[in-house]
Structure 1
Amino acid sequence: MRNGILICMLLLLTACQQPTVYVYTQALTDIQTQQLTIRLQQQSLPYQFIQLPIPKEFAAATLLTSEDKLLTAETEQLAGIMQAMGYQPQINYVSAANHHYSDGNIGFYLRGEHIEPGFNMPKLMRTTNCSEDRYNNLRVTFNENVVAFTLLNGARAHLEWQFYENYLVINYRDISQSYTHSTPLVATPFGEKPSDTYRYTAHVESPQWLNCSLQVVYMD
């Protein structure tokens, strides 16, 4: 209740100002926070970080719009930010969990998700189905929250990875690549074998070796 009162007071004080994005974050990594800040600076509305917890009723990526003034283009920009960070945004057009917005203000809620209990990434994978053939069959190793790509020149690029709502997300500077998981059978010289396959969901401008799926084939 106290948080709800604080939110209402905040919105009353800012009612006469330019529409503002109120940003709530929780359990984001340092890299994700940096990425989010860079992207917020590139969108068209002023924004303000709010140091209050995200209601557990909200999805990991939630936008709460103003009930009396819907800014469609700006809301789409903010949803695009969430998608670029590997999330699937949920947009609410009505008040929720004592959070209410008016005069065009928008609530932006982004919560890091812990890895699901019992979930384990394969320790060693290979790139496959790359947009550029030369990047196929790179060695990719996973360890805790760090993934290492062994590049064509033998150098190793160490990146941060997370698992969000059934998406594998790998972070590189101010971009993220997300992957969907499947377990197809893969043809080998010894017949069809099971695999863990992570297919990339978007095309990033750079580095090109993130435009590859990741796969391990189990031969036993």
Structure 2
Amino acid sequence: MRNGILICMLLLLTACQQPTVYVYTQALTDIQTQQLTIRLQQQSLPYQFIQLPIPKEFAAATLLTSEDKLLTAETEQLAGIMQAMGYQPQINYVSAANHHYSNGNIGFYLRGEHIEPGFNMPKLMRTTNCSEDRYNNLRVTFNENVVAFTLLNGARTHLEWQFYENYLVINYRDISQSYTHSTPLVATPFGEKPSDTYRYTAHVESPQWLNCSLQVVYMD
């Protein structure tokens, strides 16, 4: 009788277990870790941080789903977290690098990327093509991993920036804005001139001055 009760309790416990997100992080800044924690608290599944290194075979942002039970909506939520932090997630539906999941559990892997060797951000840029015209031509300065925006009232706000897999990412509180890099020729009174241009990839609710591209034009 006792064994029967024990078996029933084990079956009940197994049936009640909720799928869990197992979170692996590596080389994230303090701000990124804070952003990630806030966003994980807002999604629907319980989560657990795992203090183990991320396999080198994985992309900087990787989701690994269960082979026997795919939770589509929850996986999309987690992919959205990665995108909001400036990453392009890669979703694996089968085991990889000896990591595999079942019963709806999901592996969440997020790795900070170091600045590429030889990569240097321009020291001084200006905002351009803003969603609100009044924020055009703000002064933006880069120094190591800190970027300073000089706002309309003259105040300067300092934010962290990183370079991830060809994306410039600027972190502001619990949000991030990402930018793609190009080098178009820009029309000036002295003819077309080369530039470094970083176009923002998404619209954030606030602050509006993050909904601006960044540009420096080289006048020779």
- Deviation, 1:9, is 21
Q: Deviations over 1:144-200 (max 9, x none)?
A: 000000000000000000000000000000000000000000000000000000000
- Deviation, 1:39, is 0.2
Q: Deviations over 1:52-76 (max 9, x none)?
A: 0000000000000000000000000
Q: Deviations over 1:51-107 (max 9, x none)?
A: 000000000000000000000000000000000000000000000111110000000
Q: Supply the distance in 2 between the matched residues of 1:11 and 1:156 (Cα, whole angstroms).
A: 59
Q: Deviations over 1:34-56 (max 9, x none)?
A: 00000000000000000000000
TM-score, normalised with respect to structure 1 = 0.93
Q: Supply the distance in 2 between the matched residues of 1:4 and 1:119 (Cα, whole angstroms).
A: 66
> Which residue is 2:137 aligned to?
137
CA contact (8 A) 1:4 1:98 kept: no
Note the residue ranges of structure 1 that are not aligned, 5 or more in a row.
none
Q: Deviations over 1:131-151 (max 9, x none)?
A: 000000000000000000000
Provide closer, same or farther for how the CA distance between residues 184 and 3 of structure 1 changes in structure 2, counting only shifts above 3 A.
farther
Provide closer, same or farther for how the CA distance between residues 140 and 8 of structure 1 changes in structure 2, counting only shifts above 3 A.
farther
Query: Considering only CA atoms, is the larger Rg found in Structure 1 or Structure 2?
Result: 2
Name the % identity. Answer: 99
Task: List structure 1 runs of 4+ shifted beyond 4 angstroms.
Answer: 1-16
TM-score, normalised with respect to structure 2 = 0.93
Note the residue ranges of structure 2 that are not aligned, 5 or more in a row.
none
Provide closer, same or farther for how the CA distance between residues 6 and 161 of structure 1 changes in structure 2, counting only shifts above 3 A.
farther
CA contact (8 A) 1:25 1:54 kept: yes
CA contact (8 A) 1:3 1:52 kept: no
Tell me the secondary structure at the aligned position of residue 36 of structure 1: helix
Tell me the secondary structure at the aligned position of residue 37 of structure 2: helix
Tell me the secondary structure at the aligned position of residue 163 of structure 2: strand
Tell me the secondary structure at the aligned position of residue 3 of structure 2: helix
Provide closer, same or farther for how the CA distance between residues 82 and 68 of structure 1 changes in structure 2, counting only shifts above 3 A.
same
- Deviation, 1:13, is 11
Q: Supply the distance in 2 between the matched residues of 1:4 and 1:55 (Cα, whole angstroms).
A: 42
Provide closer, same or farther for how the CA distance between residues 219 and 96 of structure 1 changes in structure 2, counting only shifts above 3 A.
same
Q: Supply the distance in 1 between the matched residues of 2:197 and 2:7 (Cα, whole angstroms).
A: 44
Q: Supply the distance in 2 between the matched residues of 1:126 and 1:143 (Cα, whole angstroms).
A: 15
CA contact (8 A) 1:4 1:99 kept: no
Provide closer, same or farther for how the CA distance between residues 191 and 181 of structure 1 changes in structure 2, counting only shifts above 3 A.
same
Provide the aligned length of Structure 1 versus Structure 2.
Answer: 220
Provide closer, same or farther for how the CA distance between residues 211 and 99 of structure 1 changes in structure 2, counting only shifts above 3 A.
same
Q: Supply the distance in 2 between the matched residues of 1:174 and 1:2 (Cα, whole angstroms).
A: 52
Q: CA RMSD in A?
A: 6.1
Q: Supply the distance in 2 between the matched residues of 1:204 and 1:194 (Cα, whole angstroms).
A: 29
CA contact (8 A) 1:181 1:198 kept: yes
